[in-house]
Amino acid sequence: MGFTEETLEKTGQGEPDWLRERRRTAFAAYERMPMPSRTDEEWRRTDVTGLDPAKFATLEHANGHKQETPKLPAGVIFEPLSLAAHKHRQLVEPLLFSALHANRDRFAALHAAFFTGGNFLYVPDGVVIEEPILRQHFSHEGGTTVLPHTVIVAGRNSRFYYLDEYIGEEEEAGYRSGSAEIFVGEGADVGYVSIQKWGRHAWHLADQRARLEKDSRLRLFNITLGGRFSKTRVEASLVGPGSSAELKGIYFASGEQFFDFHTLQDHQVGNTTSDLLFKGALQDTARAVYAGLIRIEKGAARSDAYQANRNLVLSEHARATSIPMLEIDNNDVRCTHGATVGPVDPMSMFYLQSRGIPATTAKRMIVQGFFGEVLERIPFEQARTLVETELEARLG
Amino acid sequence: MATVPKQIEIGSDYKEKYGFSVPEDYIFKAKRGLNPEIVKEISWMKKEPEWMLKMRLRSLEIFRKKPMPTWGADLSVIDFENIFYYLKASDKQSKTWEDLPPDIKKTYDRLGVPEAERKFLAGVSAQYESEVVYHSLHEELSKKGVIFTDTDSALRDHPELFKEYFGTIIPPADNKFAALNTAVWSGGSFIYVPKGVRVDIPLQAYFRINAENMGQFERTLIICDEGSFVHYIEGCTAPIYTTDSLHSAVVEIIVKKNARCRYTTIQNWSTNVYNLVTKRALAYADATMEWVDGNLGSQITMKYPSVYLMEPGAKGDVLSVAFAGKGQHQDAGGKMIHVAPNTTSTITSKSISKGGGRTSYRGHIKMYPDAKNSKSFVKCDALLLDDQSRSDTYPYNDVDAENVTLGHEATVSKVSDEQLFYLMSRGITRNEAETMIVNGFIEPFTKELPLEYAVELNRLIQLEMEGSVG
């Protein structure tokens, strides 16, 4: 079987020509490009030899449920992407896949060719939405491919929160993504949270990329819990002076789960700030790979960048690899990074147990405390509660 | 630094003082280029046993097959066919300082070898043009059974010991440049410290490159038997030449149970040298291996001293300093491979980039499944002195063992305005102030050096800083 031109044409049915053409170009790239091999630096520690996306060539459309969408102020556009492509071509065409390039690798191409569903949010200049916009994306069957794509455009001085929740109900393997492009306009303030809870047998490959204009602010939280295999790239380009990106991650892996994160803090201009912290706990035989890069371009003076990855290893057989990298081309900057991998501190355990707290409870408290630092930074209540509940259920 | 460093007039007469080159006078000079005939000729000149010749030829094959590394610095300009692979300055080994050829003595004079160092020169094996020409073993060391000789003599005089260890820590197939070195190696130091013997004075060797387009492929092998201690120092200076030269050394060290070895390098090749060195040590039960590695010179350096922690209780330590000026790329770092449980390691890296120079820290911490309860900590600090310079950090941390602790920290910054203002408000010029700050920045490194080297290093930094900013 596999992905065919026929599938492609069917997927693009009813869409405007420019978008169908774009899908075709991406499909050609998919056909042309080889699978990443372990000689590619990015994939050295990430084994995709067991993955053949063609096995999951049935597409599941996940236009998703709008749940409790607040009454949106006038001028706000919030529509399924395929519909927005028709109605708001001048907005969608220049931005769609401008931050995430289809020809980056085979998986990105597949996503760009066959993205099914996803949403387009446009918030005009000066508009503030107090209630967060919550979206859920479901997959119901095994053996399928589900590729939601989110495009968020924040106008000048706008402010709002957005949550993408990816939920898998099936028990069998499938191919999943959940990518987002976020364009933060001048002076805008965006809070974005994604929670990935695909089924425990799913292959998940997704890219989240943001572009920050002058004096804008983005708080992006990536919560990864699901999938048998999950690889996510979280990237922010600071292109306007005064912009600031807070990139935070929480992951909890158990059983045989494998999580891979590649992050990028791309300071293209000066007076920009980025603050990254990815914290994960690993149980059973789970594995995590983190590789992050802070890139300070030549002209990006007075930039301030922080990058940290902390891994808590809860079992004897869980493993973590952490590669925090810096490429600094300007001297007038402050860049700091750190990485740790380690077990639960025996002193803390002893302290709690000596006060009569059973070992399992003590361990759970320590893990909760470990995540607390990131949890409390999640910008809106709904997402915070949701993540807390999910973590609690998993900690048992 | 507690005291204000005395401003010395180095910058003005750099060329005169360090840019010397004495006329070439060689007994034997192999042809340029690399082929089995040249390798055979080298082996024949050295009157080597058959097994060594075979190993050299096999290594040459490996070198030819291996691709050039595509990561790190750009090595595409190296022309392997345009290099002399062997030179021999005089046909007889000198016995005492007085016997040294006057030209070589003059070289040392011009280098300004510090007084303290001359004192130790009796124990120095000074390498001039690839092969050790001066060698005098301290009587006391001899009595204790310590072997300190050049590697060529070791092959002749201690064949069994030599064959047991040579090429076992860094086999020829390890990487392209290790293969090249094994094929054409010449000179270097060989040290054997018997059980329980502590060598109190540091053993030192001065390496020099002199002929234009000459590669230097020294090979060092250090064996520290159980419970012993040795500190080996190599310092390098090289005259300035116009065409590129290649330095590709291999250093192998074995530190047995309870032993400790410290290996100190101050690398100051002239800025046209490609310095591609493989250094590796094996540390056994409760042994300690310390690499103290300073890189100031060369055009490109790629060097990652590593310690394989083979048995419980082994400890590895890398202290690395890199200074990259105009046109230089220092790609340095360290590797710690934890194989056994309860092993510990630390890497401290300090790098300074100036005038468009680039420093990269590249490190690897690997904890194999058996390395339970091991600990590792890496700290990298980088100082960027101007807006043309660049600094990178590439730390690779792989943990496959249970109950281990691994930490990595790095910062990149410039010389802070507050510090500069503080010093300048006390009447210190900007340049002096910056020099002081840089010397303070690398102090954790300098304080690990013997005094005379620390003084020399501070002077070198001063020299590099001269006329830099402001």
DSSP assignment of A91-114:
HHHHHTTTSS-TTSSHHHHHHHHH
Please tell me the distance from the alpha carbon of residue B336 to that of residue B406, in angstroms, as a whole number: 12
Task: Let me know whether A206 and A250 are in one domain.
Answer: yes
Residue to test with chain A: of B329, B375, B400, B408, most A Cβ within 10 A? B408
Within 13 Å, how many C-alpha atoms sit on residue B194's CB side? 7
Task: Let me know whether A232 and A352 are in one domain.
Answer: no
Q: What confidence score (pLDDT) does residue B188 get? A: 84
Task: Let me know whether A189 and A283 are in one domain.
Answer: yes
**Mapping DSSP to helix (H, G, I), strand (E, B) and coil, where does residue A63 land?**
coil
Please tell me the distance from the alpha carbon of residue B391 to that of residue B370, in angstroms, as a whole number: 35
Could you read off the pLDDT tens digit of each residue along chain A, which spans 396 residues? 588 888 888 888 889 999 999 999 999 999 999 999 888 888 888 989 889 888 898 887 755 555 566 788 989 999 989 889 999 999 999 999 999 999 999 999 999 999 988 899 999 999 999 999 998 888 888 889 999 999 999 999 999 999 999 998 888 899 999 899 999 999 999 999 999 999 999 999 999 999 999 999 999 999 999 999 999 999 999 999 999 999 999 999 999 999 999 999 999 999 999 999 999 999 999 999 999 999 999 889 999 999 999 999 998 889 999 999 999 988 888 889 989 998 898 899 999 999 999 999 999 999 999 999 999 999 999 999 999 999 999 887
pTM greater than 0.80 (yes/no): yes
Q: Which chain A positions have a beta carbon within 8 Å of B354's beta carbon?
A: none
Residue B404: pLDDT above 60?
yes
Give the relative orientation of helices B36-45 and B176-184 as an angle to the nearest 10 degrees: 50
Q: Which chain A positions have a beta carbon within 8 Å of B324's beta carbon?
A: none
Residue to test with chain A: of B393, B417, B441, B469, most A Cβ within 10 A? B393
DSSP code string of A107-144: HHHHHHHH----EEEEE-TT-B--SPEEEEEEE--TTE
Q: What is the pLDDT of residues B136-168, one digit of tens each?
A: 556 678 888 998 888 888 999 999 999 999 999
Chain-chain contact of A343 with B404 (C-beta, under 8 angstroms)? yes
Cβ contacts of residue B429 below 8 Å, gap of 6+? Answer: none
Task: Let me know whether A224 and A314 are in one domain.
Answer: yes
* A289 and chain B in contact, CB less than 8 A: no
Task: Let me know whether A66 and A206 are in one domain.
Answer: yes
Q: What confidence score (pLDDT) does residue A309 get? A: 95
B229, B202 contact by CB (below 8 A): no
Cβ contacts of residue A367 below 8 Å, gap of 6+? Answer: A281, A312, A314, A344, A395
Residue B206: pLDDT above 70?
no
* A255 and chain B in contact, CB less than 8 A: no
- Give residue A304's identity as a one-letter amino acid code: D
- With CA atoms as reference, the chain A residue closest to B362 would be A325
Q: What distance in Å separates residue A251's CA from the closest CA in chain B?
A: 18
Asked whether residue B115 is assigned to any structural domain, the reply reads yes
Asked whether residue B451 is assigned to any structural domain, the reply reads no
Q: Which of A11-15, A364-368, B42-46, B343-347 has the highest mean pLDDT?
A: B343-347
Task: Let me know whether A351 and A334 are in one domain.
Answer: no
Cβ atoms within 10 Å, residue A106: 19
What mean pLDDT do residues B355-361 have?
92
Asked whether residue B467 is assigned to any structural domain, the reply reads no
Give the model's confidence band at B129: pLDDT under 50 very low, under 70 low, under 90 confident, else very high.
very low
Domain stops at, among A344, A372, A387: A344
Give, in degrees to the nearest 5, the angle at Cα B199 between B196 and B200: 125
Residue range of the domain that includes A375:
345-396
- Per-residue buried b or exposed e for B363-381, using 16+ beta carbons within 10 Å of the residue's own CB: bbbbbbeebbebbbbbbbb
Give the relative orientation of helices B50-65 and B36-45 as an angle to the nearest 10 degrees: 150
Report the residue from B387, B398, B411 with minimal CB separation from A335.
B411
Q: DSSP E strands: which ranges in B370-437?
A: 375-384, 390-399, 405-414
Mean pLDDT of chain B: 80
Pairwise pLDDT comparison (B118 vs B380), residue with the higher score: B380
End-to-end CA distance of chain A: 41
Cα B409 to its chain centre, rounded Å, is 25
Domain count, chain A: 2
Chain-chain contact of B395 with A324 (C-beta, under 8 angstroms)? yes
Give, in degrees to the nearest 5, the angle at Cα A38 between A32 and A41: 95
Chain-chain contact of A320 with B403 (C-beta, under 8 angstroms)? no
Q: DSSP E strands: which ranges in A283-318?
A: 287-296, 303-313
Asked whether residue B447 is assigned to any structural domain, the reply reads no
Give the model's confidence band at B210: pLDDT under 50 very low, under 70 low, under 90 confident, else very high.
very low
**Mapping DSSP to helix (H, G, I), strand (E, B) and coil, where does residue A41 land?**
helix
Asked whether residue B156 is assigned to any structural domain, the reply reads yes
Please tell me the distance from the alpha carbon of residue B298 to that of residue B329, in angstroms, as a whole number: 8
Please tell me the distance from the alpha carbon of residue B104 to that of residue B44, in angstroms, as a whole number: 26
Pairing between strand B203-207 and B125-128?
parallel
Pick from A312, A309, A289: nearest CA to A370 = A312
- Give residue B15's identity as a one-letter amino acid code: K
Task: Let me know whether A52 and A169 are in one domain.
Answer: yes
* A327 and chain B in contact, CB less than 8 A: yes
Q: What is the pLDDT of residues B411-452, one digit of tens each?
A: 888 888 888 999 999 999 988 898 889 888 988 888 888 877
If contacts are CB pairs under 8 Å, which of residues 37-76 in chain A contact chain B? 41, 45
- With CA atoms as reference, the chain B residue closest to A303 would be B413
Asked whether residue B358 is assigned to any structural domain, the reply reads no
Task: Let me know whether A184 and A309 are in one domain.
Answer: yes
Residue B236: pLDDT above 70?
no
Residue to test with chain B: of A337, A341, A344, A347, most B Cβ within 10 A? A341
Within 13 Å, how many C-alpha atoms sit on residue A395's CB side? 22
Pick from B349, B291, B338: nearest CA to B314 = B338
A122, A87 contact by CB (below 8 A): no
Asked whether residue B313 is assigned to any structural domain, the reply reads no
* A337 and chain B in contact, CB less than 8 A: yes
* A159 and chain B in contact, CB less than 8 A: no
Q: What distance in Å separates residue A262's CA from the closest CA in chain B?
A: 14
Task: Let me know whether A370 and A260 are in one domain.
Answer: no
Chain-chain contact of A331 with B384 (C-beta, under 8 angstroms)? yes
Chain-chain contact of B387 with A339 (C-beta, under 8 angstroms)? no
Q: What confidence score (pLDDT) does residue B458 get? A: 76
Cα B75 to its chain centre, rounded Å, is 19
Report the residue from B386, B408, B414 with minimal CB separation from A338.
B408
Chain-chain contact of B395 with A331 (C-beta, under 8 angstroms)? no
Q: What distance in Å separates residue B287's CA from the closest CA in chain A?
A: 24
Please tell me the distance from the alpha carbon of residue B14 to that of residue B18, in angstroms, as a whole number: 6
Q: What distance in Å separates residue A315's CA from the closest CA in chain B?
A: 8
Q: What distance in Å separates residue B385's CA from the closest CA in chain A?
A: 6
Q: What confidence score (pLDDT) does residue B449 get? A: 85
Domain count, chain B: 1
Task: Let me know whether A131 and A269 are in one domain.
Answer: yes
Give the model's confidence band at B379: pLDDT under 50 very low, under 70 low, under 90 confident, else very high.
very high
Residue to test with chain A: of B349, B381, B397, most A Cβ within 10 A? B397
Chain-chain contact of B412 with A338 (C-beta, under 8 angstroms)? no
Pick from B271, B411, B292: nearest CA to B351 = B411
Asked whether residue B96 is assigned to any structural domain, the reply reads yes
Residue range of the domain that includes B287:
18-303+415-429
Largest CA-CA distance found in chain A, in angstroms, rounded = 69
Q: What confidence score (pLDDT) does residue B119 get? A: 37
